[in-house]
Chain A
Amino acid sequence: SAVISQKPSRDICQRGTSLTIQCQVDSQVTMMFWYRQQPGQSLTLIATANQGSEATYESGFVIDKFPISRPNLTFSTLTVSNMSPEDSSIYLCSVEGRAVYNEQFFGPGTRLTVL
């Protein structure tokens, strides 16, 4: 399994500002994913980030709000733009495991609170 780290682990931000979350993997992976876990809720996929191409966003998520970078096969960033209190969530990145079973390995998450 891959070792995944995220920075920051948590942050408290003001309404209207933006925060960039970093995800680093200890091995090269083709696909990286970003999820949101709102308080008391399960995980929802925001987008899939592939190196060398634009991220693919799920319904309800747009690039202007959640721009993603994927400069190489071990790193990705997710920016939460123009934040509001409704963006308070845990943001998780993950990488592919055994593709045949669509398994994923998750980072520890970034806990974001927007005041």
Chain B
Amino acid sequence: TQLLEQSPQFLSIQEGENLTVYCNSSSVFSSLQWYRQEPGEGPVLLVTVVTGGEVKKLKRLTFQFGDARKDSSLHITAAQPGDTGLYLCAECLGGSQGNLIFGKGTKLSVKP
């Protein structure tokens, strides 16, 4: 069974700082999704990365997919309190629609 490991588990920073969170696997991803979940809400899809070495940007968020497609990172520049939330990576197990395997997430707190 593929296991997604996310690090760090918790991260507390001041507004304006930069940060990077990671998602790693022992196996090759077919594709990888990043979600953000705010308290009291369901996860919201941020991005899907598909190609090894791919870099995608979403405003202050930069997503990278490792060349070997076994790891991914999310970098946030000049973090804001609105970035606070649980960041989850997810991959589809066995190519079957629906069975997303989620990492345990990185809980980010950005203090003003």
Contact = CB atoms under 8 A, between A and B. Distances in A.
B45 interface: yes
Most buried by A among B45, B90, B99: B45
A106 B44 CA distance: 7
Interface stretch (A11-19, A39-47, A64-72, A79-87): A39-47
Contacts, number: 60
Interface residues of A, number: 27
Interface of A: 1, 4, 31, 33, 41-45, 48, 58, 92, 94, 96-99, 101-109, 111
27 contacts: A1-B45, A33-B98, A42-B88, A42-B102, A42-B103, A42-B104, A42-B105, A45-B98, A45-B99, A48-B98, A48-B99, A58-B99, A96-B98, A97-B45, A101-B33, A101-B48, A101-B50, A102-B98, A102-B100, A103-B33, A103-B48, A104-B45, A104-B98, A104-B100, A105-B45, A106-B35, A106-B44
Chain B facing A: main interface SS: loop
A2 to B, nearest CB: 11
Interface residues of B, number: 22
